[in-house]
Amino acid sequence: MNSPQHIVLFPDGNRRWAKQKGIASLDGHKQGYNNLLDFSEWCKNRGVKVLTAFGFSTENWNRSKEEVSYLMKLLESCLADNLEKYKKDQVRVRVIGQKDRLPEPLQNAINTVENETKNNSKLFLNLAISYGGKWDILQAVKKIIKNKVPADKVDEKLFESYLSTAGLPTPDLVIRAGGEKRMSNFVIWQTAYSELYFSPKLWPDFTEQDLDLALEEFDRRSRRFGK
């Protein structure tokens, strides 16, 4: 099977899943993170090298203060609680996004997990927190201007070196759970030629078998890159 080296994941539908179950929507987010841990393991076992997962978007700051506060604390505790697992499983964790907007305890948890896992090599897990594709492009432009790079030196390769995903392979496959079919301002430069796979399942219900269905579909596709 032709397996993707870099998967982009939209773990969408946590709140809808909780509503269907008749439980608090915040509990849906916790179940969603637990499923992300499992998904990371499934990917690693199938030879995927990089997983970039949407955790919290720049637009998510517009949600209720209660939900935002809960998500910040959930992300902090999940990073801290799973540090030993990441180390044992040889998973390198990095967070991309507007780190300076995050609460200090979460920033500290991010710094710890990034430093403690930086030499791991089985899977590179990118967690996008306070991230937006448009923001990523704009921050790259601002850095290029700040560095006074001559216009005739700016090409796609140089521009990509300023994006938050610099140094990583281009995403091969985008998987979006939850039934929605859009990119939602996520790694929009990087996924220009990625294959798209949409699952109707809400994220907490997404299984290992569902991943295999996505990989089988990817294997059947002919990637021509405009040629």
CATH of the domain at 213: 3.40.1180.10
Specify the number of domains making up the chain. Answer: 1
In a domain, 140, yes or no: no
Q: What is the pLDDT of residue 1?
A: 75
Q: Extract the tokens encoding 222.
A: 């002919």
Q: Are 53 and 126 in contact (CB under 8 A)?
A: yes
What tens digit of pLDDT does each residue of 153-191 get?
999 999 999 999 999 999 999 999 999 999 999 999 999
Q: What is the pLDDT of residue 63?
A: 94
Give me the domain span that covers residue 70: 6-132+171-217
Q: What is the pLDDT of residue 222?
A: 80
In a domain, 184, yes or no: yes
Banded model confidence at residue 102, pLDDT cuts 50, 70, 90: very high
Q: What is the pLDDT of residue 227?
A: 66
Is residue 115 annotated as a catalytic residue, yes or no? no
Mean pLDDT over the full length of the chain = 96
pLDDT at 198 over 70: yes
Taking the C-alpha atoms of residue 222 and residue 224, their distance in angstroms, rounded to an integer, is 6
Length of the chain: 227
In a domain, 1, yes or no: no
Q: Are 172 and 7 in contact (CB under 8 A)?
A: yes
Report CA-CA distances (Å) from 17 to 36, 149, 222.
15, 48, 34
Closest CA to 133 of 84, 205, 182: 182
Q: Are 98 and 130 in contact (CB under 8 A)?
A: yes
Selecting among 27, 34, 35, 60, the annotated active-site residue is 60
Selecting among 12, 136, 172, 210, the annotated active-site residue is 12
Coil, helix or strand at residue 80: helix
Phi, psi at residue 186, to the nearest 5°?
-120, 125
Q: Are 185 and 132 in contact (CB under 8 A)?
A: yes
In a domain, 187, yes or no: yes
In a domain, 149, yes or no: no
Write out the H or E segment, with its range, that includes residue 10.
strand 6-10
Taking the C-alpha atoms of residue 124 and residue 95, their distance in angstroms, rounded to an integer, is 11
Catalogue the E-assigned strands of 62-213.
91-96, 123-131, 173-176, 195-198
Burial of residue 104, with CB atoms counted within 10 A of its CB: 0-12 exposed, 13-18 middle, 19 or more buried: exposed
Is residue 60 annotated as a catalytic residue, yes or no? yes
In a domain, 144, yes or no: no
In a domain, 201, yes or no: yes
Q: Which amino acid is at 100?
A: D
What tens digit of pLDDT does each residue of 53-66 get?
999 999 999 999 99
In a domain, 179, yes or no: yes
Q: What's the whole-model pTM score?
A: 0.95
Query: Measured in whole angstroms, how far is the alpha carbon of residue 85 from the centre of its chain?
Result: 19
Burial of residue 49, with CB atoms counted within 10 A of its CB: 0-12 exposed, 13-18 middle, 19 or more buried: middle
